[in-house]
């Protein structure tokens, strides 16, 4: 059995049951109907979700501008290095992940 299973919410459960019943009544493939209603995580949908997530992260990075994040973290006299930029970017990504989880 897979670890970290999350229970199915009631709305998804009802939608799946409705599709199952309608498929049996009308002779449709219930798997195709679940897929058409975006209730299955196919490899295509998984890749699409990854692309959208990465695009969202890229959009946020462009909005917040890494050089500005670096300037805010270190004072003007500090000679920043690529390692400093890496620290700033990791902190930003961790904050972004936390913010998205809280939404």
Task: Give tens-digit pLDDT for 34-86.
Answer: 999 989 989 999 999 999 999 999 999 999 888 888 888 888 788 888 899 99
Q: 42 Cβ partners below 8 Å, 6+ apart?
A: 35
Q: Do 34 and 81 sit in the same domain of this protein? A: no
Q: With DSSP H G I counted as helix, E B as strand and the rest as coil, what are the percentages for the chain, rounded to 5?
A: 75, 0, 25
Same-domain status, 49 and 75? yes
For residue 1, tell me if it sits in a domain. no
pLDDT mean over 85-103 = 91
Domain that holds residue 33: 7-40
Q: Is the pLDDT of residue 7 over 80?
A: yes
Is residue 2 in a domain?
Answer: no
Indicate the number of domains in the chain.
Answer: 2
**Whether residue 45 sits in one domain with residue 15:** no
Residue 101 sits in the same domain as residue 68? yes
Task: Note the pLDDT of residue 1.
Answer: 52
If asked whether residues 62 and 36 sit together in one domain, one would say no
In this structure, the answer to whether residues 71 and 102 fall within a common structural domain is yes
pLDDT at 2: 61
Q: Are residues 35 and 45 in the same domain?
A: no
Position 33 scores a pLDDT of 92
Grade residue 8 by pLDDT with cuts at 50, 70 and 90: confident
Residue whose token pair is 């805010």: 72
Say how far apart CA 70 and CA 65 lie, in whole Å.
Answer: 9
Distance, in Å, from the CA atom of 60 to the CA atom of 89, rounded to the nearest integer, reads: 11
């Amino acid at each position: 059995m897979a670890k970290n299973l999350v229970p199915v919410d009631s709305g998804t459960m009802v939608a799946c049951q409705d599709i199952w019943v309608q498929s049996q009544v009308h002779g449709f493939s219930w798997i195709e109907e679940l897929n058409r209603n975006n209730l299955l995580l196919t490899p295509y949908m998984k890749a699409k979700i990854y692309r959208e997530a990465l695009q969202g992260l890229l959009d946020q990075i462009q909005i917040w501008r890494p050089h500005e994040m670096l300037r805010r973290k270190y004072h003007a006299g500090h000679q920043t290095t690529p390692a400093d930029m890496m620290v700033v970017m990791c902190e930003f990504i961790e904050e972004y992940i936390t913010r998205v989880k809280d939404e």
